Amino acid sequence: MVSRKRMDLRTIGRSFPLGALVVSLLCGAGSASAADVIAGRVLGGGAPIANSAVTLWAATADEPKQIGQAKTDDSGRFEINADEMQSDAVLYLVATGGEPKAHGSGDNPAIALMTVAGSKLPHHVVINEMTTLASVITHSQFIDGIAIKGSALALRIAAGNMPSFVDLETGGYGTAIQDALNSSQTPTMANFATLSNVLSGCVTLVRSDACSSLFYAATAPTGSYPKDTLTAAENIVHYPVHQADKVFDLLNYFYPVSKGKALRPTPLMPYLTFAPSAWVFPLKFTGGGLSGPGKLMFDSEGNAWAGDNFIVGAQNQDALWSGNLSKIAPDGKPLSPMTFGFTGGGVGGIGFGLAIDANDNVWGTTYATRTIVKFDKTGKPLSPLDGYNFGGQLGQMQGIIVTPKGDVWAVDIEKAQIVYMPQGDPAKVQFFCQNKTGDPLKNPCKLLAPFHLAIDQQDRIWISNVLSDNVTRFPASDPSKLEYFKAGWSGSGIAVDSLGNVWLCNRSGSSERARLKILEAIAASKLRGENAFARVLVDSWTSQKPGYESGGSITVFRPDGSQASFSPVSGKGITAPWAISVDGNDNVWISNLATASAGIVQLCGFRTEHCPPGAKTGDAISPPGGYVGGGMEMQVDVGIGPAGDVWVTNNWQYYPACLGTVDEPLSTLCAGQGVTVFFGMGKPVRVPLIGPPRQP
């Protein structure tokens, strides 16, 4: 049953004589009780919209169901009687047409505004431009015109993210968008207000051609021409790069600075001064022990788990990864203990090794404690006090995966070996690729600092290598049947799409420059130690620029091991690619461990029907510098949640502080701060992610 809210008597009195209502209640008459009524207001440009048709809908996995309808009065107020509905439904309201009072305009049939209220009837709700934009952003993967439908989990997550953008009761700014991490620290608040102002220009008819101007700028690359403000917002959010400058130009056209004035007469502040590269609205979250988060995974409820390189507040150094484990709710709220996260079980400096099994148990590998750890979904350690280190046989660990059969595989970057636990049973552990010669070039599997791994649909394990330009592959059933494929240098994140194609990050790229840089780093480590090795590579990655000769690259393998005709992929915002994820449409997302100005990159995958018109596999969907903003720092992981939200971990902040002594005020700024979330931008995948991605 949907939760009911008691109506305020002052609200009742506006529509019914109080005495008549009391008699009605005493007699048990009437088809709807006060608890079945939702009250609200429709506003445009901060002023009422009269005679607007407001419809209450219930969204589920099926077609939305209309619950009730009403017309607004001259003050924009309405009340709707709500019938009973199924418990997993998400409620939303759509206001169409009406007479905006902001500029004394007449009826405007182009008005279509929305507020997603969630699974409970609110006391009061406002429907305006900001609630409309927030609804479209958070529900981008589930909205089509006025219809919203999706899985119960996805809709619950999407509706739960609304308060981060807007206050449903007032229609003003929400919590996260105006907090200290966001507001003045990122462009998101100005992006949000600017686009809301542009929508408002059409809603309130600030010019006679305001709506036709908006619809022209918001026409999708498919040629779809908006019919109202809601579909205009949907087109812009669905295709954030397309004609971004034309949409921005409407700000000046609708709200020119008057003579003798300094600011534009916009209904909302702040607004942008410069055109954005894309209309994106990322927000940043932290807490729960997040400190230099590395690998990130989602459990079956959509909670994000992150392995932390470092400890909150410490003068952290790359030479010692000592962080713990963090859990964050889908709305960005921390669920793990505030400062230190989840501890115990041997955890100490999780890097890029994190996986979640079918029972929502979390598996991690550690750098400092050289072990494998296991936690249950509540954060309780299941591994022993020192983790699973098998009598000290493990070195510094990196990637770990759980396969569809329930097996656990992990890579030891320090000892260049593979760890296998059938059905996740540590008592049955097996080691492969062990090198007993002492010469790293004589590893039986040609592993040189193995970093990450993935399993494909043919049950084959693919492994990336930091210090070579090849990938190792073998059947999970027989690791002795080794195959090797040439890639780029400094292999990192690796992912398999739904068709069996393998996408690999090469942090240093595929050029001769990349090979020489790896050799330089190896020489530096022999002369001056491990810290010198890191210094050479990090200095290189942070100075790289997108391009084959100057930046990182992506190698793309077909299932037979041959490279795709367009491989390697370079440029397109690919600076120093660290991690790669595939969404439910097989489009590819890439993070960059470079600088705070580097973006995340979205590439068109092999199912080009899910890409903008004319895009080919390997083409960029994101702008030339990637999607930016949201307070991103030096990124490590990028992951897709069950509502299509794209999460990015901010691993390092001020990298000189990670590699040595810096000025005291800067000495705690090594660790990256929190996670950045781009809402609704990727096609959802089934969680937890086990094997190649699948749609929910």
The answer to whether residues 360 and 252 belong to one domain is no
* 528 confidence band (pLDDT: 50, 70, 90): confident
Percentage, residues of the chain above pLDDT 90: 90
Residue 633 maps to a domain: yes
Of the candidates 680, 691, 190, 21, which has an alpha carbon nearest to the alpha carbon of residue 408?
Answer: 691
Tokens 């400096």 found at: 349
pLDDT confidence of residue 123: 83
Looking at residue 113, its pLDDT comes to 98
List the domain range (segments joined by +) for residue 314. 283-678
Please check whether residues 243 and 361 belong to one and the same domain: no
Half-sphere exposure of 626 (CA within 13 A, CB side): 31
Closest CA to 204 of 75, 48, 366: 48
On whether residue 485 sits in a domain, the answer given is yes
Tell me whether residue 688 is in a domain: no
Which of 114-123, 224-233, 626-635, 648-657 is the least confident region? Answer: 114-123
Residue 655 falls within a domain, yes or no?
yes
Per-residue confidence (pLDDT) for residue 21, from 0 to 100: 36
Is residue 262 in a domain? Answer: yes
The reply to whether 241 and 287 lie within a common domain is no
Which residue in the block uniquely carries the two structure tokens 């939760």?
3
Which residues on adjacent β-strands are paired with residue 320? 317
Structure tokens at 32: 């709807």
Specify if 13 maps to a domain: no
Report the chain's mean pLDDT, rounded to a whole number: 93
pLDDT at 590 over 90: yes
Q: At how many degrees (to 10) do helices 210-217 and 229-238 cross?
A: 20
pLDDT, residue 164, reads 98
Residues 425 and 571 in one domain: yes
Statement to judge: residues 667 and 554 lie in one domain:
yes
Q: Are residues 234 and 337 in the same domain?
A: no
Phi first, then psi, for residue 184 (nearest 5°) are: -80, -5
E strand or H helix at 416:
none
Domain end: 281, 299, 316, which one? 281
CATH code at 453?
2.120.10.30
HSE-up (13 A, CA, CB side) for residue 67: 26
- What span, in angstroms and rounded, lies between the C-alpha atoms of 94 and 115? 7
Strands 304-308 and 325-328: antiparallel
Cis preceding linkage at 692, omega within 30: no
Q: Tell me, yes or no, whether 7 lies in a domain.
A: no
Pair (292, 274) in one structural domain: no
Average pLDDT over residues 304-330: 96
**Whether the Cβ atoms of residue 508 and residue 518 lie closer than 8 Å to each other:** yes
Percent of the chain surpassing pLDDT 70: 95
DSSP assigned state of 478? -
Q: What is the pLDDT of residues 86-104, one digit of tens each?
A: 778 999 999 999 999 998 8
Residue at token pair 């059969």: 405
Q: Label each residue of 583-649 as H, E or C.
A: CCCCCEEEEECCCCCCCEEEECCCCHHHCCCCCCCCCECCCCCCECCCCCCEEEEEEECCCCCEEEE
Does residue 201 sit in helix, strand or coil?
Answer: helix
Q: Which of 478, 493, 362 has the alpha carbon at shortest distance from 418?
A: 478
Q: Cβ(353)–Cβ(399) under 8 Å?
A: yes
Is residue 110 over pLDDT 80?
Answer: yes
Quote the CA–CA distance of 366 and 411 in Å, as a whole number.
11
Question: Distance between CA 290 and CA 270 in Å, rounded?
Answer: 30
Q: How far apart are CA 348 and CA 309, in angstroms?
A: 8
Q: How far is CA 61 from the centre of its chain?
A: 22
Whether the upstream peptide bond of residue 270 has omega within 30° of 0, thus cis, is yes
Q: How does residue 501 score in pLDDT terms, banded at 50, 70 and 90?
A: very high
Q: Are residues 277 and 287 in the same domain?
A: no
DSSP helix/strand/coil, 231: helix
The whole-number pLDDT of residue 409 equals 98
Give the count of beta carbons closer than 10 Å to the beta carbon of residue 369. Answer: 22
pLDDT attached to residue 31 = 35
Neighbours of 273 (CB within 10 A): 8
* Confidence band of 2 (pLDDT split at 50, 70, 90): very low
**What's the average model confidence in pLDDT over 397-405?**
98
CA atoms within 13 A on the CB side of 576: 21
User: Is pLDDT of 7 > 90?
Assistant: no
Q: Is the pLDDT of residue 11 over 60?
A: no
How does DSSP classify residue 474? E
Neighbours of 185 (CB within 10 A): 14
Mean pLDDT of 651-675: 96
Is 3 a domain residue? no
| pLDDT tens-digit readout, 55-90 | 999 999 999 999 999 999 999 999 998 876 677 899
Is the pLDDT score of 681 beyond 90?
yes
Instruction: Give the CA distances from residue 194 to residues 123, 248, 266, 281, 696, in Å, rounded to whole numbers and listed in that order.
Output: 29, 8, 9, 11, 34
Please give the tally of structural domains in the chain: 2
Largest CA distance in the chain: 94
Judge if 299 and 267 occupy the same domain: no
Classify residue 163 as exposed, middle or buried by CB count within 10 Å of its CB (0-12, 13-18, 19+). middle
Q: Is the pLDDT of residue 239 over 70?
A: yes
**Length of the chain in terms of residues written:** 696
User: Which residue matches tokens 């309405």?
Assistant: 78
Tell me: pLDDT of 390 over 70.
Answer: yes
In this structure, the answer to whether residues 271 and 333 fall within a common structural domain is no
Give the model's pLDDT for residue 444.
Answer: 95
CB crowding 654-685: b at 16 or more within 10 Å, else e: bbbbbbeebeeeeebbbbbbbbbbbbbbbbbb
Alpha-carbon gap, residue 347 to 327, rounded angstroms: 14
For residue 35, the model assigns a pLDDT of 53
pTM confidence score:
0.94
Mean pLDDT of 424-431: 98
- Specify whether 469 is located in the same domain as 514: yes
What pLDDT score was predicted for residue 29?
Answer: 35
Query: Domain end: 242, 260, 281, which one?
Result: 281
Which is it for the CA torsion 479, 484, 489, 491, positive or negative? negative
Q: Indicate whether 634 and 659 sit together in one domain.
A: yes
> CA 247, CA 242: separation in Å to the nearest integer?
9
* Alpha-carbon gap, residue 28 to 14, rounded angstroms: 21
> Last residue of some domain: 225, 255, 281?
281
Q: Are strands 37-44 and 124-127 parallel, antiparallel or unpaired?
A: parallel
Q: What is the pLDDT of residues 435-446, one digit of tens each?
A: 999 899 999 999
* Sign of the Cα pseudo-torsion (592, 362, 499, 557, in order): positive
How many angstroms separate the CA atoms of 99 and 49, rounded? Answer: 5
DSSP string, 44-73: ETTEEEET-EEEEEEE-SSS-EEEEEEE--
DSSP type of residue 334: B
CA dihedral 636, 638, 641, 644 (to 10 degrees): 150
